[in-house]
Structure 1
Amino acid sequence: MQLEDGRTQGTPDDGIAHAISRINAQLDLLSARFVGRRALLELIMLGLIAREHVLLVGPPGTGKSAAVQSIATAIDASFFEYLIGRFTEPSELFGALDLDALKDGQIRPVTSNMLPEAEIAFLDEIFLGSTAILNSLLKILNERTYRRGQYSVKTPLLSCVAASNAMPEDPLLAAFADRFLVTMFVDPVGENELPDLLKTGWRETGAGAVPIAPLPKSLFASLHAAAVAIDMDEVTEAYAHIVRKVRLIGVVLSDRKLVKGQTLIAAAALLRGSRVAGPEDLWPVTYLVQSRSQQEEVRELLHVELQHSRNPVLSNSVADATYGPTAHAAALAEQAALLLESRPALPTDPLHERWLVRLETMQTRIDAAFDRTSLPQQLRPVHASIESLLARHGPAAAGAAAEDGPREPA
């Protein structure tokens, strides 16, 4: 149905459509700097539009800090970052006391360039913070208010991105972690992406990162206003059904998180180019779960409900959200088949040894992901081919050949 201004019913107006196009273009520029990190960048951008907080969990050296710093510089907003340690003082984040005010009997911190004045924040090793730090953070995360004694001020925070090497086991810290609506588990770049990682890293090191023109804050304000106006009626029952299924496998999602989860669904619908949320936009529910193993269970459990998920701007995070063991097996089978096809013609080819190393790595990836007795059907033929080739040409075969003397090439 055409509206009077020429738009199709349910689509955003031209101004919002242009803003979405700019978000997508910015993500393209940013993801070119970070191999295998498009989904991470997409989720941070989603958090900024929804004005929700994002938790990144993964080992050191996986690019979490660099990605957040890069996206922060690509937005015209004040940015605060800090690496928290066990001995970090609250004043290092929130500002030291104003001594002049203290002489007059007033408790007032100097918050200039500190967390209370930040629009985007990045807090590394978040769970190492003291009780005093975490309590002050709670007020900022939940209510966008910083309070110290009688002093209270509203903060302009759009989104706080936090990082940690692992999820906390302490129940009190787990309760604090629940304030982060989006949780993403970040792994090192996969074996297939290593050449791209090395090339990109070397290019950025040599020439330096080319500056990206920052997006204005007003663009995010417009998108946020449009997101909260999204019609959610069509997905309310479907969302409730998903929550019931997830709870049946023991996943705990607080009422607060479930209600706020709708902001992610609405923002996803907006970035898909719609003013009405549909089944395609329910995929963010995967990122509400704060356990790596349970996220995998949810992906597989909701295979039917999330099979129609799509988003032209957030394509990689959609793929990760709906990527269960079945899809993982299919991807491994495809990668293994391509690797087998790339076999050098002659064993004497210098590239043959490198190819064997990659073949061994692929076998390790398959064996790590699936038990041999329950190997998915699509993986069985390529796994058998890899085993056969490694038995004939791998290190063990080479050692046996050295003991037995020269043999005719296979």
Structure 2
Amino acid sequence: MSEIINQNISQIIERISEIIENASEQLVERRVLFELVVLGIITKEHVLFIGPPGTGKSAAVKSAARQFSGTYFEYLIGRFTEPGELFGALDLAALKDGQVRPVVQNMLPEANIAFLDEIFLGSTAILNSLLGVLNERVYKRGTFECKVPLWSCVAASNALPEDPMLQAFADRFLLTSFVEPVSEENLNALLSAGWARATNESVTTSATAPTKLSAQDLQHLTDAVCQVDLTDTLESYAHIVRKLRVRGVAMSDRRLVKGQKLIAAAALLGGRSKASVADLWPVIYMIQDPDLQNEVKDLLAAELGKGENILLSESVKQSSSGPQARAVDLTKYGQDLLSQKPALTSDPGFEIWQVKLESLLTRIDAGFSAEDMPQTLSVLRTGLIASVSSDDTPAPKATGTD
């Protein structure tokens, strides 16, 4: 494979770019989820989203699944969910003949893309069956066995499990993203996009939407990923792994080896058949701990700061946005907020401005202790408090210390 990818692959990547751009208009602050689902499907790996209910996890998965022509299966798992609800009930006619054979039509064993919400609530029987599906793409029940055409399973949960057995199960998901509610800056955009969806659910956009990707298109991409040259990234990738181990971030050998597929796919979707340090950013999503993800973003700032991918732009951005980067964003937002302060406290917009300011102070104090807060952000925080304290209104509450 030459360093310039062939025209057929380029055309497929162009369509993926159109698909992502189309979806991002409706997925406020959730483009990264959409991108990671696409990355998981292309690499035939699994994706895990962790976050509170109602934060758009399922919406992002459904939106991505609609862009592929494969079979989609989804299920909300509960503590009393039976295996048959996912894998199919037993065939009663076969059972009369002494055969144990489930009816898998339209169930998980026939899916190309699966979304399993509240995955860690599954029983031991369900999780054991899922291991075979996720690892070997095979479903077994008694003497019954069938191949599963699964491209990717996307799972979601409100929190990571503390049980070591469940943590081992979670390791089967190569990509992990931690989801937070939409930020205050984008609340208006969220409300507008949500209302637009609610009032136009029956309106079809098939005339303008990009063509769905076929199974053949996906196979071409998957084959192309396996042909990407990783030579120039091996030493840098190994260096990152060493730095992570020194920091105490442990990843299984299986996970590290599979991570190379993500690097190769990042290069391919960036239009390159030879990977470089610009394609190492997926390593952040291989870490299954929100605090460690944030720490590592700063630890690997030099390496991940070189990340680049126009198609998966939001994933690249978030992979390098550690505490220092967030401090820069908060500082910029705070400076903009100060410049928008109404001249008079009697102005109808003053209360709206004050609530935004109080919310920003809460985010600053929740994200940084007084000792760890960067100087520029500390100065801004002092200025925010002073901007209200000088008015004839109560100063905003702040949990930190000056």
TM band (smaller chain): over 0.9
Deviates more, 1:364-373 or 1:87-96: 364-373
Distance 1:113 1:316 in 2: 34
Match of 2:103 among 110, 114, 126: 110
For residues 28-87 of structure 1, what are the alpha-carbon distances to aligned partners after superposition, in whole Å with 9 as ceiling and x for unaligned?
111111100011110010001001000000000101111111211222110000000111
Give the conservation status (yes or no) of the 8 Å contact 1:80–1:120.
yes
Name the CA distance, whole Å, in 2 between partners of 1:89 and 1:57: 23
Three-state SS of the structure 1 residue aligned to 2:304 is: coil
Residue of structure 1 aligned with 2:377, choices 376, 379, 382: 379
- 3-state SS of the aligned residue for 1:80? strand
- Paired AA for residue 322 in structure 2: G
What are the Cα deviations for residues 324-376 of structure 1, in whole angstroms up to 9, with x where unaligned? Answer: 11111111111111111112233322111111111111111111111224421
Aligned to 1:389: 387
Q: 1:216 Cα deviation (Å)?
A: 2.0
Q: Residue 338 of structure 2: which of 328, 332, 340 is its match?
A: 340
CA drift at 1:233: 1.1
CA distance in 1, matches of 2:295, 2:56: 26
Identity of aligned residues (%): 52
Q: What SS does structure 1 have at the residue aligned with 2:302?
A: coil
Match of 2:262 among 264, 269, 273: 264
**Residue 128 of structure 1 corresponds to which residue in structure 2?**
121
One-letter amino acid matched to 1:162: A
Distance (whole Å) between structure 2 residues aligned to residue 230 and residue 179 of structure 1: 23
- Give per-residue Cα distances to partners, 1:142-190, cap 9 Å, x unaligned: 0111111111111100000000000000000000000000010000000
The correspondence of residues 57-76 of structure 1 with structure 2, limited to 5 A, is 57-76=50-69
Counterpart residue type for residue 362 of structure 1? L
- After TM superposition, the structure 1 = structure 2 runs for residues 67-106 of structure 1, keeping only pairs within 5 Å, are 67-106=60-99
Structure 1 residue aligned with 2:400: none
In structure 2, C-alpha distance between the alignment counterparts of 1:34 and 1:394, rounded to whole Å: 40
- 1:394 Cα deviation (Å)? 7.4
Specify the structure having the higher radius of gyration (Cα): 1
- 1:22 partnered with 2:22: no
2:34 to 25, 29, 41: 41
CA RMSD of aligned residues (A): 1.5
Distance 1:265 1:368, change over 3 A: same
1:287 to 285, 288, 292: 285
CA distance in 2, matches of 1:313, 1:397: 44
Deviation at 1:103, TM superposition (A): 2.0
CA distance in 2, matches of 1:55, 1:359: 34
The Cα shift of 1:392 comes to 2.3
Distance 1:249 1:155 in 2: 38
The whole-number CA distance in structure 2 between the counterparts of 1:17 and 1:395 is 59
Structure 1 residue 388, shift from structure 2 partner: 0.4
Q: Distance in 2 between matches of 1:134 and 1:140?
A: 10
Query: For 2:147 and 2:285, how far apart are their aligned partners in 1?
Result: 28
Distance 1:63 1:31 in 2: 12
Looking at structure 1, the residues matched to 16 and 395 of structure 2 have their Cα atoms a distance apart, in angstroms, of 53
Q: Is the 8 A contact 2:34 2:63 kept in 1?
A: no
Q: Which amino acid aligns with 1:226?
A: A
Q: Deviations over 1:13-32 (max 9, x none)?
A: 11111111110110111111
Q: Distance in 2 between matches of 1:39 and 1:280?
A: 17
User: Structure 1 segments of 4 or more deviating over 3 A?
Assistant: 209-213
Cα distance change, pair 13–150 in 1 and its aligned pair in 2 (3 A): same
Measure how far apart 1:381 and its partner are: 3.1
User: Per-residue deviation at 1:311?
Assistant: 0.4
Residues 1:235 and 1:389: Cα distance change in structure 2 (over 3 Å):
same
2:86–2:107 contact (8 Å) kept in structure 1: yes
SS in 2 for 1:175: helix
Amino acid in the other structure paired with 2:297:
R
- Report the residue type matching 1:170 in the other structure: D
Corresponding residue for residue 148 of structure 1: 141
Structure 1: gaps of 5 or more residues: 4-8, 399-410
- Could you say if the C-alpha distance between residues 319 and 397 of structure 1 is closer, same or farther in structure 2, counting changes exceeding 3 Å? closer
| Paired residues of 1:356 and 1:394 also in contact (CA < 8 A) | no
In the TM superposition, residue 380 of structure 1 has moved relative to its aligned partner by 3.0
Contact map agreement 1:360 1:390 (CA 8 A) in 2: no
